[in-house]
Amino acid sequence: MAESDLNKNAKAEDNLLRLVIMNPPDKGNEELRSMFTQIPYVWLQAECTKYEFLQEVIANQTAPHIVVVAIDADLEKACNAIERLAQEMPDVGILAISKRDDGQAILKALRAGAKEFLTMPFGVDHLSEILGKLEKAGKIQHSPTLAVNKKKKTLISFLGSRGGVGCTSLSVNIAATLAADPHNKVVLVDLDLTLGDADIALDLMADYTLSDLVENIDKLDMTFLNRSLSKHSTGLALLPHPLNVGDATMITEEHLKRIISLLAACHTHLVLDLSKSLRPTDICALAMSDFIFLVVQLEITSIRNSIRLLSTLDADGKLGPRVKLVLNRVGMVTDITREKAVELLGRPFFWEVPNDHKVMMESRNSGTPMVKSAPVSKIQHNFSDFADAVCSKTKANKGAKSFWHSLFTNNP
């Protein structure tokens, strides 16, 4: 791996709370892994199943910020392991965990060097609160992770009202436009798991896909995650759909939550290109999104499907307010007027994208987003303003001149 890639991996890993779990083989403790991995800024480095090997396991890793020790299997061995670790690595935050509310065991673990004690069961919110408490109290040293990862990340989903409405073209071009800003780190995830073609739109031959991450979900580390992303010359990273159609069924909502959370920990923007079938993975992606852009055209099938989709999404009190309508290919001859579409849909369009078939097809066929292939075109100016409109809703300086405005107005 190139030195620059190693540096990128190191920087990405610095943005995570490194964790080691000391978890003897006990079915009752299997939920520990799931609990911690639901927290976006936590990176599970390693697991150990024998108290006497804990120091050896940690010695083979980058120094962790947190070590979780489940004490129920053998309290004496657990406390000895905690005591050795506290002496050798005083900067590590040690969390002792038990299923029993045993005052003597709690006292013994804390005296051995544990900095907090948690009794199971507990929720993810409580666990996240405890980690924040440790960091605030200075019991987790050299950890910029919590502050860094509390910064707002922007997740954007594009949902088509039918096939061929331009959902992937918009996803690719908006993602590439966002990536043109050197302050952004953007990844596009192709969640049309069976028929996606974002890789073709970017002319990328992927070595790894979403299914490869799922197959290695238990041993996923930052190096493998970074290596799995296909890089485009625009700076955009792509996580493609599975190569084999049959592999789509292996990807679950829990897999997707974990992967998206990890990607969000080291990227400023995630753009998700969804399928047209509202699979469980699509619903999961929508629930994690800040913006849901429903792509519409002025024709009867698209309008009808949009009405149905809006009805479903609006029924969810959390999803409904995130939905924004995007009218694509404005200027084409159609039987439905914009005004009639607004009346039928019951809301205005958030954004309108002009029709420029020739420029769009040239970009698509060459596998080059318009930020590179046609940077001064009318439609790319539209995409730059679209990107600015999205970012202005997540930045305090909404009145500031955008990066894209400066970039394109300075072009001849």
Sheet holding 17-22, edge to edge: 42-48, 17-22, 66-70, 93-98, 116-119
Q: Where are the alpha helices (DSSP H) in 315-410?
A: 338-345, 357-366, 370-373, 378-392, 403-409
The whole-angstrom separation of Cα 281 and Cα 310 is 18
Selection from 65, 62, 68 nearest residue 92 by Cα: 65
Helix (H, G, I), strand (E, B) or coil at 376: coil
Which whole-number Å values give the CA distances from 151 to 109, 137, 147, 175, 211, in the listed order? 34, 20, 7, 20, 29
Answer whether 62's CB lies under 8 Å from 91's CB.
no
pLDDT value at residue 9: 42
pLDDT of residue 55: 87
How high is the pLDDT of residue 170? 97
For the chain, which domains are there? 15-148 (3.40.50.2300), 152-409 (3.40.50.300)
pTM: predicted TM-score of the whole model, two decimal places: 0.72
Cα distance between residue 24 and residue 58, in whole Å: 16
How far is it, in rounded angstroms, from Cα 316 to Cα 377? 38
Among candidates 60, 104, 52, which has minimal Cα distance to 78?
52
3-state secondary structure of 325: strand
For residues 95 and 66, the answer to whether their CB atoms sit within 8 Å is: yes
The contacts of residue 66 (CB under 8 Å, 6+ apart) are 17, 18, 19, 20, 42, 92, 93, 94, 95, 131, 134, 140
Strands (E) in 72-115, as ranges, are 93-98
State both tokens at 355.
Answer: 């029709």
Q: What is the pLDDT of residue 14?
A: 53
Say which residues have a Cβ less than 8 Å from residue 6's Cβ, sequence separation at least 6. none
Written as tens digits, the pLDDT of the chain (412 aa) is 444 443 444 444 456 788 889 988 765 556 777 777 777 678 777 888 899 999 888 887 778 889 999 999 999 999 999 999 999 988 888 999 998 888 999 999 999 999 999 988 888 888 888 887 777 666 565 444 444 344 568 999 999 999 999 999 999 999 999 999 999 999 999 999 999 999 999 999 999 999 999 998 876 766 678 889 999 999 999 999 999 999 999 999 989 988 998 888 788 999 999 998 899 999 999 999 999 999 999 999 999 999 999 999 999 999 999 999 999 999 998 989 999 999 999 999 999 999 999 999 999 999 999 999 999 999 999 999 999 999 875 543 333 334 444 444 444 3
3-state secondary structure of 156: strand
pLDDT of residue 200: 95
Q: What is the Cα–Cα distance from 407 to 411, expressed in whole angstroms?
A: 7
Q: What residue type is 84 in one-letter code? A: R
* DSSP secondary structure letter of residue 242: P
CB-count burial class (<10 Å; 0-12, 13-18, 19+) for 219: exposed
C-beta separation of 153 from 268 below 8 A: yes
Calculate ∠ Cα 281-287-292, nearest 5°: 100
CB 92 within 8 A of CB 65: yes
| The pLDDT of residue 246 | 93
Predicted pLDDT at 139: 58
In this structure, what token pair is assigned to residue 2?
Answer: 């190139």
Strands 237-239 and 186-191: parallel
Alpha-carbon torsion 130, 135, 140, 146, what sign? positive
